[in-house]
Structure 1
Amino acid sequence: MTWPPAPLDPDELAGVVRPFGASRMLPARAYTSAEVLGWEHRHLFAGTWSCLGRLAELPAQRGATVGDVPVLLTRTGDEVRAFANTCRHRGHELLPDGGSADGRVVVCPYHGWVYTVDGALAAAPRFRDVPGFDPAEHGLVPLPARVWHGWVFVNATGDAPPFEEYAGALTELVAPYAPDRLTLAARHSYEVRANWKLLHENYQECYHCPRIHPELCAVSPPDSGDNYDLPGAWVGGSMDLRDGMATMSVDGRSGGVPLPGVDQRRVRYLALLPDLLLSLHPDYVMTHRMRPVAPDRTRVECSWLMPGGVADPTYAVEFWDRTNRQDWAACESVQRGLASPHFRPGPFAPNEDAVHQWVTLVGRAYRGDPPWAGG
């Protein structure tokens, strides 16, 4: 399978996919063009596996937009189904983006067609006596959905590979933290005036940490850790905690409880294309779920997951809210710099190999190779 190429100069992309040490960053249009973002919505978001939140927070029915494709989710217990959010009569949305319902059936608000939660057409007013009308031919269009470690993922175009293949080795790395058994302790929402890919790139390196993250550097050496090179459409690595530090907090102390069976001296930072960042700590899991709304604007939902019974998550929330805002300010400055007519894609520093992995993944996708296609 191949994708149509993104609306970018092929010569500029040739420099992006070169080996580490010889490659360059993405061209400015990748971050500033509405046409490029439209391509990303269809292919990098709708065409892969997008995260739509936590299973524990999903109502019986929810409308969502994945990239540029309206999707309807239905939930029965721990079972989640996804469908094209378009009535088989005249195409009306069954629920608006972000809308929810608790009924046992799905009712189109336009003409009252009724569907079961498994997508079958149950009733079509005034069609009972229409010759040749077969309800079995007018069920909702099903889409692939998967619950993974407590998060719900959907492939809105219906043609991505199985989620297990897409996530690859990431599944095993996340498993010891058992995020599906953790509870939501806190959540912050941000609107960042920067392209969504800049947030990913910033997340993949600590080259910038000594300049803008004094609190982070006090508890974790910015030059510590390693980056992974394992199967799946993701990029990530780890960093160490300094001696005497229990977790990532302002003073390095934990106000929670250690997660059993995980490395107590290391923090993992993992990014699953396109929209989920996972920060795995000795005592909590933090996620950033991203939704691009314009070439220069991204909505970010930051969630802290902890074992039940933790009374006060402030120690982790305060640290990362401060760090997030430092990062967002840097990304917004980069976005303004990318708008300059004088910008030219720069090289990667020796410790930006994970950024190179991320940019290569995106650059190959722009040239028509889906992120699961390999090198």
Structure 2
Amino acid sequence: MNALTPTPGQLALAENLADGSIKRGEAITTVPASVYTDPARHDREWTALFERMPNVIAPSALLPEPNMAVPHDGFGKPLLATRDKAGKAHVFLNVCQHRGTRLVEGGEPVCAPRLICPYHAWSYTLDGRLSGLPRPDTFPGLDKSTHGLKELPSLEAGGLIWFAFDGQTDFAEAEALSHDFDAFNLAGQHLFARNTHDVPANWKLIVDAFSESYHVQRLHAETIGPMFQDGVTAGDRVGPHQRSAVGRAAAIAELDRSDWAALRSAVTYAYQIFPGGILIVSPDYVNLMVLMPQSVDRTLVEDFMLIPEAPKTEKALSHWQRSWQLLDQGVFGSEDFRAAALGQQGLSTGAVEQLTLGTLETGIRAFHDQVDMRL
């Protein structure tokens, strides 16, 4: 594999951190509290953003080998992400074409050349074709080619698998991030752990938490806060998505910014993958979070931790387990997601009519502007 190098956009953000040319907002702005609490607003967002736009369903690392499949229920319909024998990723409705039974149950990956329905044992290859059925003589004239699994539009790019419910969806905005993610070799990472959090909060409150660094040294004072400089953040947009770089080391200006590994050790890159994805790149691992709104005040968040390779020693395993525990259970679970849940409780009382955003919270403003535009 060729040596990894930052993209021009990633390098530009690092340069901004180094020379202090960080753009901040110029005035206070506000967001109406009702955008987090109004069920009718939530329904409009679901239709416009989660039914009509491409969404990330999982990292490529969830399906590391051919002939693998993973059931997925987080987006309101039973889905099935697969990788066929040729290595191509697909997303299907997880519905047998015989009597509508769920083809694969649970939520863990399965590895097999065929998926067999538990009801009548109709079998399908991982590219969705109906390959066989018991007693075919009792289905005279059945054309197997017309009874394959129902496939949804999908795209695998930059180490992520995207899908859409709408057959007319354009994936160009999704693909726009692929070069950035290739710079981290996201497609070559190993999936170390995954966990789904059930957060009693509106999905946008969770996105808000990852769209600004104003809270880092406050909310995360006992965990990762001391690792970062306060308010030293540069950001821009890639289409509807937001990209940011947060300074970890005080001497960024003295770094050889052509040394990608050194730069990653000094800068944490984060992406708000519009609408409901979050990618955080730590110096030696990556967290991908997929947000799946369930109602106006409930969101499932699946957290994936990706590392360069599978642990080969007990020492390596212990290292990654500590990192996973720190981020998934501590920083995200006990701090970011809890803050979102407490915010939902507070906003639901009506005590706050609008949220007040300072000049370090312009990422939240930009995200909400993008949501409003899509509605």
Once the 2 structures are TM-superposed, how far is the Cα of residue 110 of structure 1 from its aligned partner?
3.4
Letter in 2 for 1:363: D
Once the 2 structures are TM-superposed, how far is the Cα of residue 94 of structure 1 from its aligned partner?
1.8
Once the 2 structures are TM-superposed, how far is the Cα of residue 187 of structure 1 from its aligned partner?
4.8
Once the 2 structures are TM-superposed, how far is the Cα of residue 201 of structure 1 from its aligned partner?
0.5
Do the aligned partners of 1:41 and 1:66 also contact (CA within 8 Å) in 2? Answer: no
Do the aligned partners of 1:20 and 1:353 also contact (CA within 8 Å) in 2? Answer: no
Deviations 1:182-223 (CA, angstroms, capped at 9, x unpaired): 333455553322222111011101223343232544221121
Residue 332 of structure 1 corresponds to which residue in structure 2?
341
Once the 2 structures are TM-superposed, how far is the Cα of residue 344 of structure 1 from its aligned partner?
1.2
Once the 2 structures are TM-superposed, how far is the Cα of residue 125 of structure 1 from its aligned partner?
5.2
Gaps in structure 1 of 5+ consecutive residues: 1-18, 246-257, 368-375
Which structure shows the bigger proportion of residues in helix conformation? 2
Once the 2 structures are TM-superposed, how far is the Cα of residue 278 of structure 1 from its aligned partner?
1.0
Letter in 2 for 1:67: F
Query: Equivalent residues in 2 for 1:354-373 (5 A)?
Result: 354-365=363-374, 367=375
Which of 160, 167, 184 is the equivalent residue of 2:169? 160
Residue 250 of structure 1 corresponds to which residue in structure 2?
none
Letter in 1 for 2:288: T
Once the 2 structures are TM-superposed, how far is the Cα of residue 33 of structure 1 from its aligned partner?
4.6
2:32 is the alignment partner of 1:32: no
Query: Equivalent residues in 2 for 1:170-185 (5 A)?
Result: 170-185=177-192
Which of 106, 112, 118 is the equivalent residue of 2:115? 106
Do the aligned partners of 1:21 and 1:347 also contact (CA within 8 Å) in 2? Answer: no
Which of 211, 214, 226 is the equivalent residue of 1:218? 226
Residue 52 of structure 2 corresponds to which residue in structure 1?
47
Which of 235, 240, 244 is the equivalent residue of 1:227? 235
Letter in 1 for 2:277: L
Gaps in structure 2 of 5+ consecutive residues: 1-24, 253-258
Shift of the 185–122 alpha-carbon distance from structure 1 to 2, 3 Å rule, reads closer
- Aligned-residue Cα RMSD (Å) equals 3.3
Do the aligned partners of 1:50 and 1:153 also contact (CA within 8 Å) in 2? Answer: yes
Cα distance between partner residues in 1 of 2:242 and 2:30:
18
Which of 66, 70, 75 is the equivalent residue of 1:62? 70
Please state whether the residue corresponding to 1:44 is helix, strand or coil: helix
Letter in 1 for 2:304: S
Cα distance between partner residues in 2 of 1:284 and 1:102:
26
2:320 is the alignment partner of 1:313: yes
Residue 82 of structure 2 corresponds to which residue in structure 1?
74
The count of residues paired between Structure 1 and Structure 2 equals: 332
2:331 is the alignment partner of 1:323: yes
Letter in 2 for 1:161: D
Deviations 1:141-163 (CA, angstroms, capped at 9, x unpaired): 2222233333322223333212x
Do the aligned partners of 2:276 and 2:292 also contact (CA within 8 Å) in 1? Answer: yes
Letter in 1 for 2:227: V
Q: Compare 305-314 and 81-90 and name the one that shifted more.
A: 305-314
